[in-house]
Amino acid sequence: MPTFHSLSLIVEIVATLAFAASGLLAAARKRLDAFGVCMVSGVAAFGGGTLRDVLLDRRPFFWVQHPGWVWALLGLCLFALVGLRGRHLAFTERAILVPDALGLGLFSVLGTMGAWSAGMPAIVAVLMGILTAVFGGVLRDLLCNELPKAFSDHQPYAVLAFAGGWLAIGLDRLGLPESATLGLAALVTSALRLCALQWHWRLPAWRALEPESRQD
Amino acid sequence: MPTFHSLSLIVEIVATLAFAASGLLAAARKRLDAFGVCMVSGVAAFGGGTLRDVLLDRRPFFWVQHPGWVWALLGLCLFALVGLRGRHLAFTERAILVPDALGLGLFSVLGTMGAWSAGMPAIVAVLMGILTAVFGGVLRDLLCNELPKAFSDHQPYAVLAFAGGWLAIGLDRLGLPESATLGLAALVTSALRLCALQWHWRLPAWRALEPESRQD
Amino acid sequence: MPTFHSLSLIVEIVATLAFAASGLLAAARKRLDAFGVCMVSGVAAFGGGTLRDVLLDRRPFFWVQHPGWVWALLGLCLFALVGLRGRHLAFTERAILVPDALGLGLFSVLGTMGAWSAGMPAIVAVLMGILTAVFGGVLRDLLCNELPKAFSDHQPYAVLAFAGGWLAIGLDRLGLPESATLGLAALVTSALRLCALQWHWRLPAWRALEPESRQD
């Protein structure tokens, strides 16, 4: 039976590739050059965890300790620059939805529990989980001079990372073993994201921005 | 008689709320969703001090040490999302001008003196004061994909933080006690900001951008 | 005969001024006010090295250790605000191309070798060199709410910093003395940049973004 650790590593690899591919797509939309493609993909893949580590003052970064990831990213970008055709872009966009959802679950839960076990307050730990899972995409959009999609598309995404982080902390407080806590919370978060995609769940709109009714 | 410390705490709370509200307004203008509203408000409120602490390599951040602030921000955002109506936005915009001016004074002076008493060179300490008071707003505008207002509205704002920082360092060098230094410099800075608002002071325009006269 | 150290210092000063001037020009295009001009120039001049130092967790920053640089930048900005005329802008744009190319070479090589001699993996060291030389400009464009030029203009710029970093690491591994390594790699990088400017070298476009041919 596969251990939690080996499953988690597979999800991590697949999800990081999906995050990098989201950067490729954003760079394609903006018609960036080779350097822009590599930087935007790299930031989409590693930016969230790096920002979290800067805030928590942790070194070395993941990609400094394992520079093979940087090489893999470089290879992916070169492959995309040479081999990808216009008609592949829409396919890529759909293909990354599932691994991206797995990444949302795993990275938010790992980010939360990393900060939580380092003694951060619960709300701060949950925020670190959100940063890990979501801010690669936010930084990607900032570098592309776009309003961050995670702030404006009214899809449940960061909100699920928030829920997943609290679930992980709750399970940990109940005394579950670490791998059960991580696995269960990540699974629930990813499943909720897939449900949100399947049934087009939307965050409620902001009331101040609705047209006001007469009798109000 | 209220001590400087208790007064300063009140100003800090009121001004942080005003900074957060400026984030709410920016998020409303961009029609962000719930997550965007919380992040932009949070960055407007805590981003300046956090950036300063990253640059000075200080931990824990204010909001990590006092996570009650994160909860308060979350509550404020939920309240705004549910309770605020379109007609409240213009009122909020005017209502935050005075507490924002108090925050400009207090945070620029506290940021300057914190770096100054840690042995930074004077010009660097003043810059840290400006970051503390002004860069929450700059980061807020960046996250909203806007040109930072503080860079482009030709109002004396950061320039007053600059002046207030130097005033604080000058008073400290004259040997004034700490609370007198902080209180006086913050008061002068805030008063200047209120004057600037009242009489519509403007920074001089850049000469290179004016139409050139014939005889030039 | 001038030593490497004194030559390097001259290039550093001239190139930093050119980076700051690129910030001035960007600020002029966006019609920023005095504070915006100073911040965008400062970030263009010092932002790359500062970001690298934040990522490598190094303190104090260059401009904290040598606050004279902050004063010089402030002086340059005041001079530009008062003395520069519209007709000087195009001239400035051309005049900074050569010192900017020198800075590209020197800063990418210094940034790479600094990280390399601190024990970073080679690919990470090269990335730190790119950050040092190129990300001042990227942050400048972000603050101006523009798509970063370095990501989108299809000119060989960051790519040359990449090549120069690897050249420096290669020369170091061959056992060349430090000043020869730094000088030679910086010289080659700068010369390639000048060639790229002279003969309008372009990075190849991304194939996915070309119109697809019939027989494909």
Interface predicted TM-score (ipTM): 0.93
Distance CA(C21)–CA(C30), nearest Å, equals 14
Contact yes or no for A152 and B28 at CB 8 A: no
Q: Using pLDDT thresholds of 50, 70 and 90, give the confidence band for residue B211.
A: low
Per domain, the residue ranges of chain A are 4-203
C-alpha distance from B66 to closest chain C C-alpha (Å): 24
Is the CB of residue C138 less than 8 Å away from at least one CB of chain A? yes
**pLDDT per position as a tens digit, B167-194:** 999 999 999 999 999 999 999 999 999 9
Return the partners of chain C (3 or more C-beta pairs < 8 Å). Answer: A, B
Contact yes or no for A28 and C208 at CB 8 A: yes
Residues of chain B found within 8 Å of residue C75, distances taken between Cβ atoms: none
Q: Residue B2's pLDDT is what? A: 66
Distance CA(B53)–CA(B64), nearest Å, equals 12
Long-range CB contact pairs, A190-198, < 8 A, 24+: A190/A101, A190/A102, A190/A104, A190/A105, A190/A106, A191/A105, A192/A156, A192/A160, A192/A163, A192/A164, A193/A101, A193/A104, A193/A105, A193/A156, A193/A157, A193/A160, A194/A98, A194/A101, A196/A155, A196/A156, A196/A157, A196/A160, A197/A97, A197/A101
Query: Residue B105 pLDDT > 90, yes or no?
Result: yes
Q: Which of A116, A146, A209 to mutate to test the interface with B (most CBs of B within 10 A)?
A: A209
Which residues 152-171 on chain A approach chain B with CB closer than 8 angstroms?
152-155, 157-159
Contact yes or no for A209 and B145 at CB 8 A: no
Query: Residue B23 pLDDT > 80, yes or no?
Result: yes
Query: Residue B198 pLDDT > 90, yes or no?
Result: yes
Contact yes or no for B152 and C87 at CB 8 A: no
For residue C209, give the nearest of A31, A40, A143 by CB distance: A31
pLDDT in tens, chain A (216 residues): 567 788 889 999 999 999 999 999 999 999 999 999 999 999 999 999 999 999 999 999 999 999 999 999 999 999 999 888 888 888 899 999 999 999 999 999 999 999 999 999 999 999 999 999 999 999 999 999 999 999 999 999 999 999 999 999 999 999 999 999 999 999 999 999 999 999 999 998 777 776 554 444
Structural contact between residues B21 and B40, judged by C-beta atoms closer than 8 angstroms = no
Distance CA(A62)–CA(A70), nearest Å, equals 10
Return the partners of chain B (3 or more C-beta pairs < 8 Å). Answer: A, C
> Of C56, C130, C123, nearest to A61 (Cα)?
C56
Angle at alpha carbon of residue A80, lines to A76 and A85, rounded to 5°: 160
Contact yes or no for B151 and C36 at CB 8 A: yes
Mean pLDDT on B187-215: 83
Q: Which of A123, A149, A160, A202 to mutate to test the interface with B (most CBs of B within 10 A)?
A: A123
**pLDDT per position as a tens digit, C122-180:** 999 999 999 999 999 999 999 999 999 999 999 999 999 999 999 999 999 999 999 99
Q: For chain A, what's the residue count?
A: 216
How is A43-112 classified by DSSP, letter by letter? HHHHHHHHHHHHHHT--S-HHHH-THHHHHHHHHHHHHHHH--HHHHHHHHHHTHHHHHHHHHHHHHHHH
Distance CA(C89)–CA(A1), nearest Å, equals 68
Mean pLDDT on C63-88: 92
> Of C187, C195, C159, C155, nearest to C171 (Cα)?
C187
Contact yes or no for A150 and B36 at CB 8 A: yes
**What is the CB-side half-sphere exposure of residue C197 using CA atoms within 13 A?**
16
Min mean pLDDT across A3-12, A206-215, C5-14, C41-50 is at A206-215
Residue B116, token pair as written in the block: 């100054």
User: What letter does residue A211 receive in the DSSP assignment?
Assistant: P
Residues of chain B found within 8 Å of residue C82, distances taken between Cβ atoms: 207
> Of B22, B48, B184, B39, nearest to B107 (Cα)?
B48
pTM to 2 decimal places: 0.94
Q: Which residue of B has its CA nearest to A138?
A: B143
Residues of chain A found within 8 Å of residue B27, distances taken between Cβ atoms: 151
